A and B are shown apart, each in its own frame.
Chain A
Amino acid sequence: MVTTSNLTYTYENGEVLSFPDIDLTPGEHVLVLGPSGAGKTTLLYLMAGLLPATTGTVSIAGTPLHELLRRELDHFRGHQMGMVFQQYHFIKSLSVADNLRLRQSFPRNNPDQERMGALVQRLGLKDQLHKKVTALSQGQQQRLAIALGLIHRPKIIFADEPTSNLDDDNCVKVISLLKEEAKLCQSSLVIITHDLRVMSHFENRVML
């Protein structure tokens, strides 16, 4: 599903980072671990095609990202990838339901009310649907961020530090949630973190 080969990235200050190769089969989960500044988020953006690699290639579902035109890459990313960011990003002028509908609408207009109902039920957001996202608690925002990464049934889910601000109980809950949802969608899951509490939940690990 995800294959990276000889990836390197050069920062504006000239620093060059090299990354180990990753080869992930469909539905497989991987944990990318590393200390702060190791380039975890950079690796995630390289895999998502949001940063251009200095050298090396990334292929997702057999498609080499570097061969896609920019608009094709945008479409591919929107359709095939789900992203859960470390900092929560929402459209603040919209309600919870409208944020989820918006994610379902791009890049293909595919509103699926049933899918949204089931997902918010599992994530405990059913009663928050009509609230503004700014009115949600920290935990609710975290769950909404996960819902936004999953609602369009992506083939691969990228999660950047999904547990960094959580206590132990919630850390376990979020990891279980991501794994369950990935299983339900038959998606591959890439979690990038420095949080060692997560290690025990994954057999497949990459160290940076």
Chain B
Amino acid sequence: MNQSKAWFSVIGLVAAVVVAACGGSSPQSNNPANETGTLTIWLMNGSAPQAVVDGVNADFKAKYPKVTVNVEIQQWGDIGTKLDTAFAGSTPPDVVELGNTLVAKYAAAGALEDISGKKPSFDNSSTWLQSLTDSCTLTGKLYCVPYYAGSRAIIYRKDYFDAAGVQAPTSIDGLLTVGQKLMAAHSSDPNFSALYFPGKYWYAALPFVWDFGGDIATQSGGKWQGSLNSASSQQGLNTLTNLVGSLSRADKTGDEAKQDQAFAQGHVAMIIANGWEVGVITDKTNGNPSLADKLGAFPIPSHNSGQTAPVFLGGSDFGVAAKSPHASLANAWVQMFTDSKHMAEMATVGGVIPNTTSMLNLGTGINSTFYNAAKNSKFVPNSQNWANVENANVIPDMLVKIFTKQQTVADASNAASTKIATILNGG
């Protein structure tokens, strides 16, 4: 291709982008049966069971027979990069599932449609979980629809606990004692972990920081100050380091992606996990179904005996791309997925916490532990720059440095606090 051709194609591309950006309105029609178009939906791996997604799409097809829906499953690992490039392009996916810590970044950058005016059109919007609604709200405007929440607790092997003669602990000290007894009972297994804790698992590390009164960062006078190096945060990190050092043989430089498989293989007594991970562990093809009646759950205990530690409230929201040419159809699809019928399925089939307080009674059996954990939950700093802290791996890096003894808790947490403050304050 010669240069003038190259220039022509550059000009052509720019023109196409401009035209696509300007001509974004979808044909308005009152009859759903006549609506046409193709919706591209990005869902995250592991969020919704395929049966629920298929059910939503079948219902959508029944109402909008001429609309094609393409659901693409994305991986969490590199989603930030993929979203950046997708939103920068002229044809981003129409609907994206966004981790609740990522919404502020994309809303602030103008990537998501402002749906404040459409809020009443979504089922249960008056009883949405407050923390998810907060994650969707930026400067008073609504940019996404709460999808589901997840909070972590400890999944354990009841048979191992019985064999070692221990009960679910009610304090961090108790957790250490129980873990040590389990380690002793399995001392012949060199792969055994009483509490399997991969080094980069920062979601599971935060409860320990919060439990001692520490935090990631605090805001005063519009400026963020890192606080992972505060005395209380360091106390939490020291406690966790001691637990990990005594009870875990998980990879100190690894992340939690493999923990359910490791648990299913049987060399693990406890993991800190979301409720839906029970399903992964007992999955017929990739897990170990025989564990189904051997699993129990208890909340992450506090250092104050009898209390529980605050947990990170994870979750996902649905955003509609501001550049979507089919915004109304996209919103219709989100309305369908978040309606009462499918939210109830997410709770019962998917094992997650649905987006509305009106369905919190759906958590029964082992799930009730995870539902209850959400009641004592905390969130990451609410800043549009938070996603950059996550993408820069600041907290996982700090944990790895501490667990592998490359740095002391004081040095590693000082470095992380400085870095977090710099990123949150926009540098």
Chain A bound to chain B = no
